[in-house]
Amino acid sequence: DVKVTQSSRYLVKRTGEKVFLECVQDMDHENMFWYRQDPGLGLRLIYFSYDVKMKEKGDIPEGYSVSREKKERFSLILESASTNQTSMYLCASSKAGGRETQYFGPGTRLLVL
């Protein structure tokens, strides 16, 4: 079975802190994704990576950056956390191709005070 793990289930950070969210998948998937999920807004794509060191902006990249140095690991970075980044963050991975299922991690609930 595909396993996608996220470094934390819950995080509390202060405004202005640098925040790292890590995601690891064990199925050699080419694609990895970071989403944020907010009530009433569904899932919104922050960044997408289709290969090591390759990334593509999603719908809401502002205030975020990503890093993919190894195929299995995709990191989301909040350079200077703000209260409007309080949210649930979901990582996913999939094989390359247009009909592939995405496999999700359990999510990280981030609270920025």
Q: Which is nearer to other proteins, 17 or 102 (CB)?
A: 102
In the bound complex, what is the minimum distance in angstroms from residue 99's beta carbon to other proteins?
Answer: 5
Q: Chain centroid to CA 1: how far?
A: 20
What minimum distance in Å lies between the beta carbon of 104 and other proteins? 3
Contact 27, 48 (CB under 8 A): no
Sign of the CA dihedral with 66 first, then 34, 10, and 26 last: negative
Q: In angstroms, what is the minimal distance from the CB of 105 to other proteins?
A: 5
Query: How far separated are the first and last CA of the chain, in Å rounded?
Result: 37
Q: Choose between 16 and 106: whose C-beta lies nearer to other proteins.
A: 106
Nearer to other proteins, 19 or 92 (CB): 92
Give dist(CA 92, CA 113) in Å, integer: 26
Q: By the criterion CB under 8 A, which residues form the site for other proteins? A: 4, 31, 33, 35, 40-43, 45, 48, 50, 56, 58, 88, 90, 92, 94, 96-107, 109
Residues 38, 69: Cα–Cα separation, whole Å: 28
Nearest distance from C-beta of residue 41 to other proteins, angstroms = 7
- Angle, vertex CA 41, rays to CA 101 and CA 17, nearest 5: 95
Nearer CB in complex with other proteins: 17/60:
60
